[in-house]
Chain A
Amino acid sequence: MNRLISRAMLAALCVLTFASAMSAQVGSYAITNAKIVTVSGSVIEKGTVVIRNGLIESVGTGVRVPADAKVLDGEGMTVYPGLIDTRSSLGIPQTPARPQGGPSAQTQQDESISKYPEGLRPEVVAASKLKAGEAQFANQRNAGFTTALTIEDEGIFNGQSALINLAGESAAEMIVRSPWAQHVSFRTLRGGNFPSSLMGTFAALRQMFLDARRHAKILEMYEKDPRGMKRPDRDVSLEALIPLLNGEQPIVFNANSEREIIRALDLAKEFGLKAFISGGQESWKVADRLKDQNVPVLLSLDFPKRTLTEHKEAEPETLETLRLRVEVPKNPARLKQAGVNFAFHTGELKNLRDFFANAREAVTNGLSEADAVRAMTLSAAEIFGVEKQTGSIEAGKIANLVVVKGDLLDEKAAVTHVFVDGKEFEPPKRPERPAGTAAGNTTGAPANVAGTWNLTIEPPGQTVGATLVLTQQGNVVTGTLSSPVFPSAPIRDGRVTANGFSFLVTVSFGGMDIDVTFDGRVTGNEVEGTADTVQGPAAFRGTRTPR
């Protein structure tokens, strides 16, 4: 989007939302009789947390409940610091996908004064793109997240990230720290321009860092004594790299495989950069180097799982792939053991419940529960350098809290209250699942998934409408999927799952037969889930027409 316009809109929105933000009461609260997991200190088995003016006023066992405080009886509840998602694109509107065969980036209007193409512009700041309004974060808050690092996942230089609290009507209110770090993806530029290969990406990065180093030197010379020296051209892109070379700003490399991580560490070493890894799927394999170079990992809890239904005609998966899926859940425990700092993020997870399910898997594989919770709270705050403000339950810190019925990592945990900057949010109560349903629907009556569903499927850059008609007999589902863009096709292997349905369908699209596995989660007459193909997954959602 045109930057000037977006700024103007942002300003307008700020003005509009200012009044409402002011009027929203950030009152005082006292959560009493609760188990308090402070994270920074020991667990308080039965205590009180008092919140006032957006801060934690006091915490402990003998804490007096102020007369003006709204009291929440925490009997049977556990209070945790608000969860921090260490990598997201929250609050940043998605860049509209360029139409296929349309004009290239160059011919579109480009207001930047950078001489570098889009994707190689480290000066881009995520905070300037933030969309106002706290309603957009409801899903994350309902799951217990109060804070997130946000950065657009575009280009080689993604730009500079912002740490935001998931409340506040204006973007300005949300920001906890900005800019935090530069983010880099080892990918190529679109449209066949340099760099169009992974090799080229490294060359482009290397040349820009070398140029930035020289640019800094020349600016310094000119600053010292401009007389007799030609005024150096300003370069917004190179100047955004100077703090990285000086070690003033960290750089986060998105790297999952062992070799990607090694390449990132090598590049960081070459230019003396203060590096972080984001993703880190195979980071245990390079734990020694991560420790030696003091590189923390923003660790994705998006664990690899088999996505396609079995196919006799498909090539067998490699042993490497099979091993990786089993090894990755052991990664957090191994990093802990090796002394590498890490904090969790949600990665590409479509369903936030999987974040906790995978955290449990990490615990099953040797990580202590306390360390798992720490990796969602204080460790993240430490990584972002905001541990004095947030990440644990201590007097004086920001009142970012999550109140859970049961234990956070328990399968049956239910978030009852979330406080962001002391502002109370109450997630809608979700119906408690009968025990055992999550493990394959072996007990209890199967959910009702029959009916006509209007679906919206979202492969990257497009939206496809489809109609799904399902008939259900016990756990078995049959039916058809039809769409304006592909002919009607019968579904196969249809079944009722723990919380919805799954089936396989072969769709004729663009002259090809594509197998798609649908895995949907049903809530009332709504469904959302993933449509998986060999080309990659796509999200889908839809509603059921009441009969």
Chain B
Amino acid sequence: MKRNWKLLLTGIALATMFAAGVFAQNGTDVLIRNATVLTAAKGTLQNTDILITNGKIARIGKNLRAPNAKVIDATGKFVSPGLIDCHSHAMLDSINEGSSAVTSMVTTSDVLDTTDVTIYRALAGGVTAANLLHGSANPIGGLNTVVKFKYGRPMDEFLFPGAPPGIKFALGENVKRANSNVLPGSSRRYPATRMGTMEVIRDAFIRARDYKKKWDDFKAGKTKIEPRRDIELEPLVEVLEGKRLVHAHGYRSDEHLNLMLIADEFGFKIATLQHGLEAYKIAPEISQRGTGVSIFMDYWGYKLEAYDTIPYNAYILWKNGVVVSLNSDSGERIRRLNLEAAKTMKYGGVPEEEALKMVTLNPAKQLGVDKRTGSIEVGKDADIVVWSGHPFSPFSHAETTMVDGEVFFDRKQDLARRGQLKAERERLEKMDANLPPGKRGKKDAEDKEEKPEATPVPTKGGNR
């Protein structure tokens, strides 16, 4: 028993040391030396150094000096901004509140799971930030959360500081429940058609307008009793006031156009059309309104409304001046967004930097966080990826992924840690609580007599 305990303690200590090695660099200066820097803003810089101070990009140039900085030698390597996923459901303990057609009262920020391993896998693919969206079950869904992937940190450190709030809308088959069975005896949820969907949205904004008036009247002293706070309508008032971004899931161009017309009617702008598989058909109308589009590069045909698209969608939109981003909407695709960007060069010939922007600066713009992240420029957050080769090559991989100048993924350390984790697993699997019933308590008689070492001091979140 005693021996086992000592082994376990050693294991914990080692795990903590490793964790410290990967994560604890707050406040340390970092100098990335001699890299090919893909800035996603000001072209590609050869043999360039980047100095990171206090989590920000302090200097970019050649032969920078920083005697106290931790040096990452990136000779022969490529450096890009951290990738940003504008459509993800990672970290969410629940995704859809499907009970009603308008669920703007719910928010994904209530159900974040900072231990979701998808985060780590995304970091291993160079992703540093994401837009965590409610699902697409309702015309007006729940509120989204923009996060930085600070894996291993407390929940509040994930929330992207200053990111404007947003909300998910959805159109089409998922909303009208075209693909779900209605149980015998129960009625189909309204809306069951695309026109019903538009009515639900219009109705909600009429209610929001009335709600706003009630409060305006109260604030102007016209009424005595304070109106009821309605957390369903409050976010919609913010949309009307231009304070909340709308991310609208949809496939068909007629529907997305219809939604933009409703937005025109109520005087607000749709921030992004999500998926927008037919967005290329209405590229000028989208461009005119300054609306962004966040698409899959070449994923279609998985339901009827997802057929009429082309791999040139991104190119045509870009050509029309639309801010385009490429998203994952998947725990798998989130690990290779760099290759999604590469494909836009193949289909239509989007220039390299513009292609890179579709997974960096453009999603940052769409989420209203482009002042802080999305490109490698002095003053921005040091959300940076060091790649073994050009990120558009399928043979390259992310070696180091930093968020705010701290390393949250390091390939070398990850590989080194695997042996430790394997050993830890083997130790743990032999412990009583991890044995099936009937096999517990079979220890050597001598072990039974000995008391274990004192319990180690608890470390905050230290066991993941």
Tell me if B97 is interfacial: C-beta within 8 Å of chain A.
yes
A277, B431: Cα distance in complex, Å: 29
- Is A206 in contact with chain B by the CB < 8 A criterion? yes
A206 to B104: give the CA distance in the assembly, Å.
13
> Contact: B97 with A197, CB < 8 Å?
yes
Indicate with 1 or 0, residue by residue over A270-311, a CB within 8 angstroms of chain B CB atoms.
000000000000001101100000000000000111111110
Is A214 an interface position by the 8 A CB rule?
Answer: yes
Considering only residues 404-455 of chain A, those with a C-beta below 8 Å from chain B are 438-440, 442
Main secondary structure of the interface of B (DSSP, over half): loop
Q: Mark A232-273, 1 if CB is under 8 A from B, else 0.
A: 000000000000000000000000001100110000000000
Q: Say yes or no: B108 contacts A319, CB within 8 Å.
A: no
Q: Which of A506-532 contact B (CB under 8 A)?
A: 517, 519, 532
Q: Which A residues are in CB contact (< 8 Å) with B232?
A: 207
Q: Which of A44-52, A173-181, A328-336 contacts the other chain?
A: A328-336
Q: Which residues of B contact A (CB under 8 A)?
A: 8, 93-100, 103, 105-108, 110-115, 134, 142, 155, 225-226, 228-232, 421, 424-425, 428-429, 431, 433-438, 440-443, 448, 451-452, 454-455, 457-458, 460-461, 463-464
Q: What are 23 inter-chain pairs, A to B, with CB distance below 8 A?
A: A192-B99, A193-B99, A196-B99, A199-B106, A199-B107, A199-B110, A199-B134, A200-B97, A203-B105, A210-B231, A211-B228, A259-B113, A287-B458, A303-B433, A306-B434, A309-B436, A310-B436, A323-B428, A325-B431, A325-B434, A329-B433, A337-B457, A440-B441
A198, B111: Cβ atoms under 8 Å? yes
> Contact between A214 and B436 (Cβ–Cβ < 8 Å)?
no
> Complex formed: what's the CA distance from A322 to B435 in Å?
10
Which residues on A sit within 8 Å (CB–CB) of B107?
Answer: 199, 202-203
Q: Do residues B103 and A200 form an inter-chain contact, with CB atoms below 8 A?
A: yes
Q: How many residues of A contact B (CB 8 A)?
A: 65
**Does A486 have its Cβ within 8 Å of any Cβ on chain B?**
no
Q: Are B436 and A308 in contact (CB under 8 A)?
A: yes
Taking each of B94, B134, B231, B455, which has the highest tally of chain A beta carbons within 10 Å of its own beta carbon?
B455
Q: Separation in Å of the B168 CB from the closest CB of chain A?
A: 11
Given the complex, which residues of A lie within 8 Å of B452, measured CB to CB?
364-365
| A9-B5 Cα distance, complex, nearest whole Å | 57
A150 at the interface (CB under 8 A from B): no
Interface of A is mostly: helix
- A116 contacts partner chain B, Cβ-Cβ < 8 Å: no
CB of A440 within 8 A of CB of B442, answer yes
Of A206, A214, A322, A502, which is within 8 A of B425 by CB?
A322
B105 touches A497 (CB 8 A): no
CA distance A288 to B459 in the complex (A): 11
A259–B228 CB distance below 8 A: no
Check A326 against B436 for contact (C-beta < 8 Å).
Answer: no
Bound complex: CA of A448 vs CA of B100, how far in Å? Answer: 58
User: Chain A contacts of B228 at CB under 8 A?
Assistant: 210-211, 214
* Further pairs besides A195-B99, A211-B228: 7, Cβ < 8 Å: A194-B100, A199-B142, A259-B113, A259-B155, A306-B436, A319-B425, A322-B429
CB-based contact A330/B455 at 8 Å: yes
In whole angstroms, how far apart are the Cα atoms of A207 and B110 in the complex? 14
Report whether A262 and B155 are in contact in the complex, using a CB–CB cutoff of 8 Å. yes
A197–B99 alpha-carbon span in the complex (Å): 9
A195 to B103, CA, bound (A): 10
Task: Decide: A304 and B97 in contact? CB cutoff 8 A.
Answer: no
Collect the chain B residues with CB atoms within 8 Å of residue A285's CB. Answer: 458, 460-461, 463
Q: CB distance B458 to A338 under 8 Å?
A: yes
User: With an 8 A cutoff between CB atoms, is A7 at the interface?
Assistant: no
